[in-house]
Chain A
Amino acid sequence: MYTQSLSLDKSAAPTAPEDAIYAGRFQAKVDAEHKVEPNDWMPEAYRKTLVRQISQHAHSEIIGMQPEGNWITRAPSLRRKLQLLAKVQDEAGHGLYLYSAAETLGTAREEMDDQLLTGKAKYSSIFNYPTPTWADIGAIGWLVDGAAIMNQIPLCRCSYGPYARAMILICKEESFHQRQGYEIMMTLSTGTPAQKAMAQDALNRWWWPSIMMFGPHDKDSQHSDTSMKWKIKRFSNDDLRQKFIDATVPQAEFLGLKIPDPALKFNTTTKHWETGPIDWDEFWRVVKGDGPCNKERMASKRSAHADGEWVREAALAHAEKERTRRRAAPHRLA
């Protein structure tokens, strides 16, 4: 669901002379819009950048289940509960599609799990914000998934085949997420004054973190060029952010809710909405671990992993026992 452009590899320069020849062919292939497939030659930095980006994206899907999972037992109706269950299940699925794509680059799943659990790998910091009310579920679907879709649609054309294919699967499913979120916001906005206030409060809390999801401004995002050259990334952070803002402001108006930005104004010349300054100190604080829920999210993930260890071992022991039995009595059906 969510990539966050933070850092990319600097070591894009080929080292050995034969690498330069391969690198030239590789770039020509990418320039011609041909896809790169798992066993093809690729620059080490391309591989590393992809593993980092795809696994970070996968981790985000997995951690992203927590803030929404928080409301499954308390969803206001059976219909809402079914939708939320389906959505959280999708997030797990998206995480797995992405781990599967990253594994084609030669990084084992266990290694990626380990990097998440030890804190070496990051996930999107949007999930370090809490979900204290039901309206947060609406706001996450509408804004967070909406921002994610803006980011992800261009990734369907990413130069790396398995990543692009995973993104196509994900984007197909993501649209339901955003629409169900917006529907929750519509219901609350047309409800009692208390319900409308709850929707407004959720928008107030999720607006800025959502527009920060696109990552730092282009002028501060120094490694984007390499990713653009490799066609991993197709639009800059600021371009995508602008598209999201332009799409979302009228949606808020339709709900009768107010975007929490007194400086927000429509530029009649450029036909774009312009926001006030983004608080990047907050962004970096949350990225570096000091958000409202960083510790809680990691603690839940670690305990789920540790508590599941005996299950993983038991399943393997069972598989081994079945194999032994079949060897002893091959006529017996498994």
Chain B
Amino acid sequence: MSETNWPLYEVFLRPRDGLAHKHVGSLHASDDAMALQNARDVYTRRGEAMSIWVVPSKAIIASDPGDADTLLDPATRDRKPYRHPTFYDIPDEVGHM
């Protein structure tokens, strides 16, 4: 086994123009160029992408699932229903709004 391991990259694909890139998995590569090449070989063998992003995994700053109750839960539909259009009753006679 090599003493230093190849770094981990996360792979994002944009299936078509007009859509956003979406995370599909990860891979190991010695550098950015190889990461892109490997992403092409591993994740796009059937024309799955119009564009590839690779990002060093350690560059991703993620929220902690343990904080979800305080960080994200206050914005859910149950807690703040008035942020959603269906909260408001508009009579049918008014028509589409």
Contacts and interface: CB of A to CB of B under 8 A. Distances in A.
Q: Do A and B bind each other?
A: yes
A169 B44 CA distance: 11
B30 A96 contact: no
Contact of A110 (B1, B41, B45): B1
A109 B5 contact: yes
Contact of A316 (B2, B26, B33, B62): B2
Given A173-B46, A319-B31, A322-B31, A166 B2 contact: no
Interface in A127-174: 162, 165-166, 169, 173
Contacts of A93: 41-43, 45
Interface stretch (A7-15, A37-45, A56-64): A37-45
Nearest to A313: B2
Contacts of B64: 39
Contacts, number: 64
B43 to A, nearest CB: 8
Given A39-B65, A114-B1, A312-B2, A101 B28 contact: no
B30 A315 contact: yes
B27 interface: yes
Contacts of B25: 96-97, 100-101, 162, 165-166, 169
Contacts of B2: 309, 312-313, 316
Contacts of A315: 6, 30-31, 34
Interface residues of B, number: 25
A228 interface: no
B92 to A, nearest CB: 36
A41 B65 CA distance: 8
A319 B30 CA distance: 6
A40 B65 contact: yes
A34 B85 CA distance: 26
Interface string A177-196: 00000000000000000000
Interface of A: 37, 39-41, 86, 89-90, 92-93, 96-97, 100-101, 103-104, 108-110, 113-114, 162, 165-166, 169, 173, 309, 312-313, 315-316, 318-319, 322, 334
29 contacts: A39-B65, A40-B65, A41-B65, A41-B66, A92-B42, A93-B43, A96-B25, A96-B27, A96-B42, A97-B25, A97-B42, A100-B27, A101-B25, A108-B5, A109-B8, A113-B1, A162-B25, A169-B24, A173-B46, A312-B6, A312-B30, A313-B2, A315-B30, A316-B6, A316-B30, A319-B34, A322-B31, A334-B32, A334-B33
